[in-house]
Amino acid sequence: MKKIKVEDKWIGEGEPTFIIAEVGSNHDGSLKQAKRLIELARQAGADAVKFQSFQAEKLINGQKLPDAYRKISRLFLPDEWHFKLAEYAKDQEIIFLSTPFDIERANLLNEIGVGAFKIASGDLTFYSLIEHIARFKKPILLSTGMAYLDEVEKAVNVIKGENNEEIVLLHCVSTYPAKLEDANIRAMVSMRDIFNLPVGFSDHTPGYVTPLGAVALGACVIEKHITLSRNLDGPDHPFALEVDEFAEMVKKIRDLEKALGDGEKKPASAEMPERKFARRGVYARCDIPRGTILKHEMIKMVRPACDGFKDLREILNKKTKVNIKKDELITAEKICEEI
């Protein structure tokens, strides 16, 4: 399966999980708070910090949804903030990402030099935007909340139609917060198997049990909202992780990665002494004279295995070459090949 590189980080099977701290709107319209969240996301161990780049008038019909329009207008990130936040993230040594919701914002992010683009679940069918972003030939994190499989396939084909194969599919449940019983993280596995693309999970459930489950099932990317406090007023605060919780999630993901291993069934190096002790060897149950035909009642299988026979069936009805004392390990040089 193809691996994707975002700046200096590889995304794909066998690579560390790419962890995105989603600030979203949790900057609350404050540049200072946005910078603080970048700093704290880096301290918590995130690989990237992500914002949302939109213009209210190009996202929402204010006549149809006046309340939503007013709320989102106050969370607007001015152009100059994008440059300042990207530069601050660079200084903090964390990757800066953002989700563009229109072509102008996509162009702005490309001018800034983002290493990848995130496409929101709501825009999975906004093909002109997807097509435009795909032409930048940069990696695309394609969120798939609310989607049927055929919609995912069409969006993937739109991207590939622009000769861009740098795609990561993010399973997502677009409710805020999402219920655990709606998470359906196995759908992520289905998309991986069907599209042969790296996959991840953009999570809105409480806590971080579902991200851990997703990593165990093969997620290459985890995206989770981060906040200074869930008690703050704003649409994304209530279901986000506070900074200490986000750090705990990162640590548990890294611990889980160690436990997952490489998938090859073989003894761990630490098991080798125990393997010798716990496995059984073939020993003499009694004194056995030279020239004796070995019978079951003369031998026993007990620990440790040592370097003798591992299966008593290998020596039944074989003749001994030498005298063997009781409790002596029976080895190949003590047995005739033929009777």
pLDDT > 70? residue 220: yes
Number of H helices, E strands in the chain: 10, 13
pLDDT > 70? residue 149: yes
Query: Which residue has better confidence, 219 or 339?
Result: 219
Q: How far apart are CA 279 and CA 302, in angstroms?
A: 8
pLDDT > 90? residue 276: no
Q: Give the containing element (helix H, strand E) for 200.
A: strand 199-203
Q: Tell me the mean pLDDT in the region 256-266.
A: 95
Which token pair is 21? 């701290």
Structure confidence at residue 339 as a pLDDT band (50, 70, 90): low
Q: How far apart are CA 281 and CA 211, in angstroms?
A: 45
Structure confidence at residue 189 as a pLDDT band (50, 70, 90): very high
| pLDDT for res 308 | 83
Structure confidence at residue 307 as a pLDDT band (50, 70, 90): confident
pLDDT > 80? residue 30: yes
Domains of the chain: 9-260 (3.20.20.70), 269-334 (3.90.1210.10)
Q: Tell me the mean pLDDT in the region 173-183.
A: 97
Q: Please write the tens of the pLDDT for every residue from 44-62.
A: 999 999 999 999 899 999 9
| pLDDT for res 40 | 98
Query: Alpha helix locations (H) across the chain?
Result: 31-44, 66-73, 79-91, 103-112, 127-134, 149-161, 186-195, 209-216, 243-260, 272-278
Residue 108 burial (CB count, 10 A): 18
Structure confidence at residue 297 as a pLDDT band (50, 70, 90): very high
| pLDDT for res 332 | 94
Residue 88 burial (CB count, 10 A): 18
Tell me the average pLDDT of the chain: 96
Q: Tell me the mean pLDDT in the region 141-158.
A: 99
CA atoms within 13 A on the CB side of 330: 34
pTM of structure: 0.92
21 three-state secondary structure: strand
